[in-house]
Chain A
Amino acid sequence: MKTVIAFYSRSNEKIAMSAALGAIQERAGIRIRRLDPNSADANFEHEYIAPRDIDAEWAEVVLIASPDVPELRAYLESLARLNPKVAIVRLDIDARPGLDTPEAARLAARAATANTASAV
């Protein structure tokens, strides 16, 4: 299963990494992409690259950890244009304090990957 994990910023990195692990645990091939084009963190750009059209065309599942920002809306529009059949899952980045959000993201990713694989 070809899975893209797209997240916005360092604030969502932990959830995105948990989701990436969940997808890998389901034996998915993964690509991790950042949506924030500009970051004060100089290393951020080196650790994560921006989404490319070929990623959208490749993906069967896209897991998103991002607030509702213009970059996310632009990304969703590009997905609809490049790969209208791709399955999109929004990860919960606003979980209530005390809940194990990264673990929830990992489990959500596993479920999304497994369910999409069985549906394909």
Chain B
Amino acid sequence: MITLRKAKDRGHADHGWLNTWHTFSFASYFDPKHMGFRSLRVINDDRVSPGRGFGAHGHRDMEIISYVLEGQLGHKDSMGEEHVIGPNTIQSMSAGTGIVHSEFNPSNKELVHFLQIWIEPAEEDVKPSYHQISFAPAEKHAKWRLIAGPHADGQPAAIIHQDAHVYAAELNPGETLGQTLAKGRHGWLQVARGNVTLNGLKLEEGDGAALSEEPTVSLTGDGPAGAEFLFFDLA
């Protein structure tokens, strides 16, 4: 069974410096029908103006992943981590017992466009940690690149405290990619950029899709530029 979450139906807020779309309830956007999917709690599609960002704030007991699509994202946290990441670099924080961090656009010219993803951990009170993994664009072209999971899978990946595997991929128009969901597993597809067909269904940028009891997943790049997307394999 596939349930679509259309981009236009997401929560939306434009604060001037931040233009954000919420796949699930977040901040002032509350919809009891969209509180998350399995352990996937938040997918925010954020565009932050040059020189602006999220001031220091705290997190507890959450796995937080940032996936940059365009521009650069700065990060500074209470563990002493201070980094700037761009496309093809994954940043993951296990908030655990508590962490304070700020995120900002370090460029004074370019917008930063990124997805922020929250996954509920399998256990509370873990020691806070930070992971940052970079990979070559070719590693996600027409193939699945594991970017986060409970353990690495032959390639470096951000480690999260949950039975959830997050993959990135991109397809040119007409290219195809398949995935299987084991019995009892659930999937979420999030289209980060472009257009893709999922098991015969047309999806556009910002669309999401929940998959349950769908053992076979088939994706085809569409439109003039294909697509970039994330796939979550969830317990």
Which of chain B's residues have a CB closer than 8 A to the CB of A47?
A: 53, 55-56, 76, 102, 104
In the bound complex, CA of A43 to CA of B159 (Å): 30
Given contacts A17-B78, A20-B58, A27-B60, contact A46 B97 (CB under 8 A): no
Given A27-B60, A47-B76, verify A21-B100 contact (CB < 8 Å). Answer: yes
Report if A49-B55 is in contact (Cβ < 8 Å); known contacts: A20-B100, A27-B60, A32-B100.
yes
Task: Specify the main secondary structure of chain A where it touches its partner.
Answer: helix
Residues of A contacting B102 in the complex (Cβ-Cβ under 8 angstroms): 46-48
**A55 CB → nearest B CB, Å:** 12
Residues A17 and B98 in contact, CB atoms below 8 Å apart: no
A-B contact count (CB 8 A): 51
Most B Cβ at <10 Å: residue of A30, A31, A47, A49: A47
Quick check: A24 and B60 within 8 Å, CB to CB?
yes
Scan B168-210; emit 1 where CB is below 8 A from any A CB, else 0.
Answer: 0000000000000000000000000000000000000000000
Contact of B57 among A25, A27, A30, A43 (CB under 8 A): A30
**Whole-angstrom CA separation of A20 from B100 in the bound complex:** 7
Q: How far is the CB of B92 from chain A (nearest CB, A)?
A: 18
Which A residues touch B76, using CB under 8 A? Answer: 47
Q: How far is the CA of A43 from the CA of B51 in the complex (A)?
A: 9
CA distance A43 to B102 in the complex (A): 11
Q: Given B52, B98, B104, which contacts A24 in the complex, CB threshold below 8 Å?
A: B98
CB of A25 within 8 A of CB of B98, answer: yes
What's the nearest-Cβ distance from chain B to residue A39, in Å? 13
Q: Any chain A CB within 8 A of the CB of B112?
A: no
* Chain B residues with CB under 8 A of A32: 55-58, 100
Which residue of chain A has its CB nearest to the CB of B98? A24
The answer to whether B56 touches A48, judged by C-beta atoms less than 8 angstroms apart, is yes
- Return B128 CB to nearest CB of chain A, in Å: 9
Contact A46 B52 (CB under 8 A): yes
B43 CB contacts on chain A under 8 angstroms: none
Residues of B contacting A46 in the complex (Cβ-Cβ under 8 angstroms):
51-53, 55, 102, 104
- In the complex, A22 Cα to B104 Cα: how many Å? 24
Out of A20, A25, A31, which one reaches B97, CB within 8 Å? A25
* A residues less than 8 Å from B99 (CB atoms): 21, 24
Determine which residue in B56, B59, B76, B100 has the highest number of CB atoms from chain A within 10 A of its CB, and name it. Answer: B56
Q: How far is the CB of A42 from chain B (nearest CB, A)?
A: 9
Q: Is the CB of A24 within 8 A of B58?
A: yes
Q: List 17 A-B contacts (CB under 8 A).
A: A17-B100, A20-B56, A20-B78, A21-B58, A24-B58, A24-B98, A24-B99, A31-B57, A32-B56, A32-B57, A32-B100, A46-B102, A46-B104, A47-B76, A48-B55, A48-B56, A48-B102
**Contact residues of A with B, CB < 8 Å?**
17, 20-21, 23-25, 27, 29-32, 43, 46-49
Known: A43-B104, A46-B52, A48-B56. 20 other contacts (CB 8 A): A20-B56, A21-B58, A21-B78, A21-B98, A21-B99, A24-B97, A24-B99, A24-B100, A27-B60, A29-B58, A30-B100, A32-B55, A32-B58, A32-B100, A46-B51, A46-B55, A46-B102, A47-B53, A48-B102, A49-B55
